[in-house]
Amino acid sequence: MLRNPPPAVHALLRVREFSALVWEGPCADWARASLQRAPWVVVRRSVQQPGAWPVGVRGALRVQRCAAWLPAGAAEDCVTPQWLAAQRLWRRQPGRHANPAILVLDEVAAVLAAHGHAGRWGPGGSVGFELASAVPCTTPASDLDLVLQADQPIARGDAARLHAELSKLPVRIDALLETPYGAVALSEYVLAGALVRLRCAVGPRLVHDPWTADRAAASLA
């Protein structure tokens, strides 16, 4: 479990120089303030460009998200959700992370390990951001976003059991299965027989099987 793997979607990058960021639109005042508080950005799902990472800046509000590109040399650290989980980072400073979405992580780890996913999962969203940056950004009402690397297909029955167990925990959990083609919400994948929304670099698609992405892409959005 490397601390510095090549950045992939959901990875958190520590920015050395804010001025290196190339903004996709106008840079909002809140984005500068947010970067001063916690100089971390999240790798977005986007078509790759050589030499720069597609990143998002988080603000305190859900609507506060700003897209930018970070030149590869301008990142001084990279951590993945999987690394945060493997390190059990939430145990390092007990008392510091007091919100339910973080306190539930030991139980989440036990469920994922019991399903054979140890080492493949980690927290994303505000929980991942808080653990990586050590800057509080969860609230008592925060959901827990989980990222589960699923290079091989997960059978719907297994996924349904995992979903059922995660749903019993006292926090709302939003789990994403990351397949080689994109990401699908666990809660949607377990609905048998339906088309599912696959989040791809080029945008959302409806597919039957997130592990083949229905190669023909007949349901292109």
The set of catalytic residues is 143, 145
Strand order across the beta sheet in which 22-23 lies: 22-23, 65-71, 52-58, 40-43, 12-15, 75-79
Beta bridge partners of 200: 203
Q: Where are the alpha helices (DSSP H) in 87-217?
A: 100-103, 105-114, 125-133, 156-167, 186-189
Provide CB contacts within 8 A for 214, sequence distance 6+.
207, 208
Our CB check for another protein shows the closer of 20 and 169 to be 169
Could you say which of 143, 165, 209, 214 contacts another protein (CB under 8 A)?
143
Give the range of 15-23, 49-57, 147-155, 190-198 binding another protein by CB under 8 A. 190-198
- Indicate whether 195 belongs to the interface with another protein (CB under 8 A): yes
Rounded Cα gap, residues 199 and 178, in angstroms? 9
- Indicate whether 24 belongs to the interface with another protein (CB under 8 A): no
Q: Compute how many residues bind another protein; rule: CB under 8 A.
A: 17
Our CB check for another protein shows the closer of 122 and 125 to be 125
Our CB check for another protein shows the closer of 194 and 201 to be 194
Our CB check for another protein shows the closer of 87 and 187 to be 187
Give residue for tokens 């409806």.
Answer: 206
Q: Coil, strand, or helix at residue 58?
A: strand
Could you say which of 197, 200, 207, 210 contacts another protein (CB under 8 A)?
197
- Indicate whether 141 belongs to the interface with another protein (CB under 8 A): no
Angle at Cα 103 formed by Cα 178 and Cα 90, nearest 5°?
70
CA-based torsion, 174, 123, 176, 216: positive or negative: positive
Our CB check for another protein shows the closer of 40 and 189 to be 189
Q: Which of residues 118-137 bind another protein (CB under 8 A)?
A: 125
Contact 139, 182 (CB under 8 A): no
Q: Which of residues 44-83 bind another protein (CB under 8 A)?
A: 62-63
Question: Could you tell me the smallest distance in angstroms from the CB atom of residue 199 to another protein?
Answer: 8
- Indicate whether 168 belongs to the interface with another protein (CB under 8 A): no
What tokens does 114 get?
A: 């019991």
What tokens does 49 get?
A: 């460009």
Question: Could you tell me the smallest distance in angstroms from the CB atom of residue 16 to another protein?
Answer: 29
**Footprint on this chain of another protein (rule: CB under 8 A):** 62-63, 125, 143, 145, 174, 185, 187-188, 194-195, 197, 203-206, 221
